[in-house]
Amino acid sequence: MNEFGEMLQEFIHEAREYLDAMNQELLNLERGDFDAVNEVFRAVHTIKGMAGFMGFKNLENLCHKLENLLGEIRDEKIEINSDLVDILLKAVDKIAEIINLIENNKKDEIDISDILSSLESWKKSCKENKTSENQNLNLDADFVVDIKIADDCLMKSVRAALVIESLKEFCKVVSVVPSEEEMDSTNFNGKFSILAKGDCSKIDEVLERIAEIDSYSIKPLSTREQTKEPKKDSNVIEEDKLKIEKVETREKEEDKEAIPEKKKSESVRVNVSQLDKIMNLVGELVIGKGRLLQIASQYDIAELKEAVSILDRAITNLQDEVMRIRMVKVERVFNRFPRMVRDLARKLGKKVEFTMEGLDTELDRTVLDEMTDPLIHLLRNAIDHGIESPEERKALGKNEVGKIKISAKRERNNIVIEIEDDGRGIDLEKVKKKAIEKGLISESSAASLSNEDLISLIFLPGFSTKDTASEISGRGVGMDVVKTTVEKLGGSLKVATKKGEGTKIRIQLPPTIAIIKALLVNVSNETYAIPISSVVEALYVDSTNYKVIHGNPFIIVRDKLVPAFKIKEIFGIRNGKMEREVGIVVEKNGEKYALIVDSISEQQEIVIKPLTGYLSKVKGFNGITILGDGRVVPILDISSLIGGDNF
Amino acid sequence: MDRATQVIVFRLGDERYGVEISQVREIIRPTQITRIPNAPNFVEGVINLRGQITTIVNLRKRFGMEAKPIDNDTRIIVVEHDNAVIGMMVDSVNEVKYLSEKEIESLPSIITSRSEAKFLKGIGKLPDGLMILIDLNKVLSDDEVEKFRS
């Protein structure tokens, strides 16, 4: 039972991968890349095979029907258009739905009659001219193999499919009688014939390998011999082999589904939760290392210090390696975007050319997962609010087809994701009006707002320029959520927009988040950690550079006023006045702020542990960490700490 | 045979309370608690419980009672709830009792629907008096926290 569970997991994983590929390839197909149909075909075929093996009849059936339709497309009997792709995509969605169902209930019982009938009806439209071509194909075969599968074989059709697949490895299967379809549906008795072209010398060897075959015979076809008459037997085979090899290479693209296995990749599948566990253990190691370092310096033991330094190096390497394992290509998430963009654009009657760049840029899995919804939201916005309708674009003298681009790249220590469109841009006047209407700003203050200030209004909770929240954008994930997610991950977000020319959103993210360098600061008898990445500098604060202007405290850093925040006051820590305090200058969205603390104790590598339960909604913290000496220290989150009260 | 429930009996002020032993992981003495600013008022802070960050809830504050400084009798009952480990700070832990089904009386809804009594599950009748059985799910669930705060 357990083994079955594992197999099921594997099946679900793999099926999902194939589904991703299918979505991708179907879009390529729509764009005119005819070879894509082979990729899709191969994927469907594999899922079908797996489903059959796992006993998911419904899924198998659906795949089978889909495969048939794809077969017709491949044989160029059906013209490809967007409506057809729609139906194919719907079928893919259905498969995805079934996979989800299987994951949750281990069952695939779901109504698929709708999708089956739409697949069927497409196929019927081309049924007429099918028969004659089939005849032609028959003439093209070199030999026929009659096979009888053992009576006690349980799944004869699957066994037959296996035989056919095996033969495809070295020769071209032209036709199967009865057809694979008939084998599945009617009471298949185990007898079938394969018409094939190519090298028949290995058939014996292959068929011997397959269990449960009762008997088989190979007969060369006379039609073939007529055309090839002058050749002698052995030569024919030799010659043919050469020829076939050439044909095979030429036909590689077209015949991909016949290649049994993709090239072996040197990787193993690891469960995400296991990876997380390893990550946690490495985190514990880092904590333990910290403790040892502390003991070593406390007691000043040279030998221990040396041993710890070796351990330190190993742990650092281990940590780097685990971090690298956690990195995934943005491709993993980006891959679903083309499909989404296409569907949405079609629904809204807009024409969009969608491009993606930097697909192999790597990002920590957690960061990427967290970013998925925000990115989807931004793309939706670009299509829904950004890109104009084709008519509007034409009238404006723009290309009818709008452009949306998403790109990812590494910039120094950060990952930068940009979403760009050439639509109408953000209408700042409209933003202003809306904000006043919603009471987010007052009319008088609105006049003095700069363009940047106006753009930042769209990130306020409860802001949306569309009057009615459409089904597309406005599903609760607002721009404010996009912003908070990015900031929670330690990143930042910038919007550049030009009316009539488009919008560009730039998201900067740290590639990894779990272990960071932090500054430990003391406030009264409490300790807090500040991520080094947001710290610009630290300086002493006394009466000479600390000023209160109109009730707001500032510190003067090189003749510039920097708004200051007293941690003591923010956190309600009661303590007498210190003579000299320390100002930590931090940066948030390009602005500088100073946090005033009592002193800095040290700089340390810390492992971020999330705040859970009651504490998950507490503002001002990013997480929590355990230091080498066992102390628990909260990690300050600059953006929610400063943004919380002021914005 | 009567199904018996084993409960841990603890004290808050003058009242005796009970929590089912199956939900309790361990009972510890208070260690150094790190305060988390801006947390709900009944959250005392977090502790490092053998490498695991554990949130400490002051049950007195949770039940709307007056807080009391930590003393020698103060204990933390560590429970597992919803995959999270949470410590409940109580005045003292006294004993473990067996309660048979007939010794437990459920409360009428007129009482449990009142906000200050919503954590109560029933009343345990012991030879030496009554004991309030608490409903951990209600004490620790997030929805309740939301309602509590608003």
The architecture of the domain spanning A515-646 is: Beta Barrel (2.40)
Strand positions, DSSP E, A159-300: 171-177, 191-198, 213-220
Q: How confident is the model at residue B141 (pLDDT cuts 50, 70, 90)?
A: low
The alpha-helical segments, DSSP class H, found in chain B are 59-62, 109-112, 136-140, 142-149
CA dihedral B58, B63, B66, B71 (to 10 degrees): -40
Contact A195, A173 (CB under 8 A): yes
Are A519 and A530 in contact, with CB atoms under 8 Å apart? Answer: yes
Q: pLDDT band at A43, cuts 50/70/90? A: confident
Which of A284, A612, A621 has its CB closest to that of B84? A612
DSSP readout, A349-363? T--EEEEEE-TT-EE
Residue A244, pLDDT above cutoff 60: no
The reply to whether B127 falls in a domain is yes
- Residue with token string 């349980």: A154
Q: Which of A83-97, A196-210, A243-257, B123-137 has the lowest mean pLDDT?
A: A243-257
Look-up: residue for tokens 């209160």? A548
CATH of domain A137-255: 3.30.70.1110
Say whether pLDDT at A154 is over 90: no
CB-CB contact of A420 with A503 (8 Å): yes
Average per-residue pLDDT in chain A? 78
pLDDT, position A437: 81
Which residues on B lie below 8 Å from A284 (Cβ)? 51
In 3D space, the residue among B4, B64, B76, B1 whose CA is nearest the CA of residue B33 turns out to be B76
Q: Given the structure tokens 């005796």, which residue do they identify? A: B16
State whether residue B31 sits within 8 Å of chain A by CB: no
Closest by alpha carbon to A93, among A161, A26, A45, A2? A26
Cβ contact (<8 Å) for B47 and A611? no
pLDDT recorded at residue A585:
92
Question: Residue B12 domain-assigned?
Answer: yes
Distance between CA atoms of A119 and A27, rounded to whole angstroms?
18
Q: Are A423 and A502 in contact (CB under 8 A)?
A: yes
What are the phi and psi torsion angles at A424 (to 5°)? -85, -10
Query: What are the chain B neighbours of A633 within 8 Å (beta carbons)?
Result: 34
The confidence score (pLDDT) of residue B64 equals: 82
CATH number of this structure's domain A272-328: 1.10.287.560
In angstroms, the separation between the Cα of residue A281 and the nearest Cα of chain B is 11
Beta-sheet strand order (sheet of A560-566) = A535-541, A581-588, A591-597, A560-566, A552-557, A546-549
Please list, in sequence order, all residues whose beta carbon lies within 8 angstroms of the beta carbon of residue A592, skipping any fewer than 6 positions away: A536, A557, A560, A562, A585, A586
User: Hey, which residues of A are catalytic here?
Assistant: 45, 67, 381
A558 or A484, which is more confident: A558
pLDDT digits (tens, 9 = 90+) for A84-106: 888 888 888 888 888 888 888 77
Instruction: Tell me if residue A110 falls in helix, strand or coil.
Output: coil
Determine the Cα–Cα distance for residues A253 and A35; give it in Å rounded to an integer: 7
Per-residue pLDDT at A647 exceeds 50: no
Binned at pLDDT 50, 70 and 90, residue A265 comes out as low
Range A399-412 average pLDDT: 88
**B22 within some domain:** yes
Range ranked top by mean pLDDT from A299-308, A522-531, A588-597:
A522-531
Residues of chain B with Cβ-Cβ distance to A618 below 8 Å are 36-39
- In order of A590, B16, B17, the CA distances from B126 in angstroms are 66, 11, 12
- CB burial string A392-423: b at 16+ within 10 A, e below: ebeeeebeeebbbbbbbeeeeebbbbbbbbbb
Of A185-194, B62-71, B108-117, highest mean pLDDT:
B62-71
Token pair belonging to B104: 């437990």
For chain A, the structural domain boundaries read: 1-128, 137-255, 272-328, 330-427+465-509, 515-646
**Residue B86's closest chain A neighbor by CA?**
A613
B76: domain CATH number is 2.40.50.180
Q: CB-CB: which of A284, A620, A624 is closest to B38?
A: A620
Best CATH choice for the domain A330-427+465-509 from the list 3.40.50.11540, 3.40.190.10, 3.30.565.10, 3.90.1640.10: 3.30.565.10
Looking at per-residue pLDDT, the higher value among B133 and A249 belongs to B133
B55 domain residue, yes or no: yes
pLDDT digits (tens, 9 = 90+) for A602-634: 888 787 777 777 787 788 888 888 887 778 999
Are the beta carbons of A354 and A342 closer than 8 angstroms?
yes
Alpha carbons within 13 angstroms on the beta-carbon side of residue A332 total 16
**Test mutation, B43, B46, B47, chain A, max A CBs within 10 A:** B46
User: Which pLDDT score, from 0 to 100, does residue A529 have?
Assistant: 93
Q: Cβ of B48 and A631 within 8 Å?
A: yes
Q: Please tell me the predicted confidence (pLDDT) of residue A645.
A: 44
| Element housing A56 (H / E) | none
A291 interfaces chain B, CB cutoff of 8 Å:
no
Superfamily of domain A1-128, CATH level 4 = HPT domain (1.20.120.160)
Q: Which residue did the predictor score with more confidence, A146 or A528? A: A528
Q: Using N-to-C axis directions, what is the helix angle for A36-54 and A156-168, rounded to 10°?
A: 140
pLDDT > 70 fraction of chain A, expressed in percent and rounded: 83
Identity of the amino acid at A38? N
For the ranges A45-54, A395-404, B35-44, the lowest mean pLDDT is seen at A45-54
For residue A621, give the nearest of B36, B47, B82 by CB distance. B36
Structure confidence at residue B11 as a pLDDT band (50, 70, 90)? very high
SS3 B94: strand
Residue A589, pLDDT > 80, answer: no
- C-alpha distance from A74 to closest chain B C-alpha (Å): 51
Comparing A207 with A230, the larger pLDDT belongs to A207
pLDDT band at A475 (very low <50, low <70, confident <90, very high): very low
Q: Tell me the pLDDT of chain B averaged across its residues.
A: 82
Question: Which secondary-structure segment (H or E) carries A512?
Answer: none
Residue B90, pLDDT above cutoff 90: yes
Residue A249 has pLDDT above 50, yes or no: no
Q: To which H or E segment does residue B6 belong?
A: strand B4-12
CA distance A25 to A133: 27
Confidence at residue B117, expressed as pLDDT on a 0 to 100 scale: 65
- Which band of pLDDT confidence, cut at 50, 70 and 90, is reported for residue A187? low
- Per the CB < 8 Å rule, is B51 touching A621? no
A591-597 vs A581-588, strand pairing mode: antiparallel
| Residue A612 contacts B where some CB pair is shorter than 8 Å | yes
Q: How far apart are CA A625 and CA A608, in angstroms?
A: 5
Chain B within 8 Å of A273 (Cβ-Cβ)? Answer: no
Higher-scoring residue by pLDDT: A378, A7: A378
Q: What is the DSSP string of A158-195?
A: HHHHHHHHHHHTTEEEEEEES-HHHHHHTT--SEEEEE
- Tokens read off for B65: 């009672």
With CB atoms and an 8 Å threshold, state whether A613 touches B84: yes
**Calpha distance A95→A101 (Å, rounded):** 10
In angstroms, rounded to a whole number, what is the distance separating the alpha carbons of residues A446 and A436? 8
HEC string for B35-55: CCCCCCCCEEEEEEECCEEEE
Where do we find the tokens 């509590």?
B148
Q: Which residues of A touch B53 (CB under 8 A)?
A: 609, 612, 624, 626, 632
Mutual orientation of helices A82-105 and A2-30 as an angle, nearest 10°?
170
Tell me the percentage of chain A whose pLDDT exceeds 90: 8
Mutate to test the interface with A, among B42, B47, B52, B53 (most CBs of A within 10 A): B53
Poorest-confidence range of A315-319, A538-542, A573-577, A605-609? A573-577
Q: Which residue of A has its CA nearest to B47?
A: A632
Q: Judged by CB atoms within 8 Å, which residues 68-127 of B form the interface with A?
A: 82, 84, 86
In tens, the pLDDT along B16-72 reads: 999 988 888 889 999 889 999 888 888 999 998 877 788 999 999 888 888 889 899
**At A407, is the pLDDT very low, low, confident or very high (cuts 50, 70, 90)?**
very high
List the single range of A536-550, B1-15, B108-122 with lowest mean pLDDT.
B108-122
Contact at 8 Å (CB) between A71 and A41?
Answer: yes
Tally of structural domains, chain B: 1
Domain that holds residue B53: 4-139
Tell me what the mean pLDDT of segment A287-314 comes to. Answer: 84
What's the start-to-end Cα distance of chain A, in Å? 56
Q: What is the mean pLDDT of residues A375-390?
A: 89
Q: With an 8 Å Cβ cutoff, is A632 touching chain B?
A: yes
Given a cut of 50, whether residue A319 has pLDDT beyond it is yes
Longest dimension (CA), chain A: 109
Mean pLDDT, to the nearest integer, of A153-178? 75
Mean pLDDT of A328-352: 88
CA atoms within 13 A on the CB side of A459: 19
B75-90 average pLDDT score = 86
> How large is the average pLDDT for residues A541-556?
86
Q: What are A16's two structure tokens?
A: 């999902």
Interface touch B39/A614, C-beta < 8 Å: yes
β-strands A560-566, A591-597 pairing: parallel
Q: How confident is the model at residue A119 (pLDDT cuts 50, 70, 90)?
A: confident
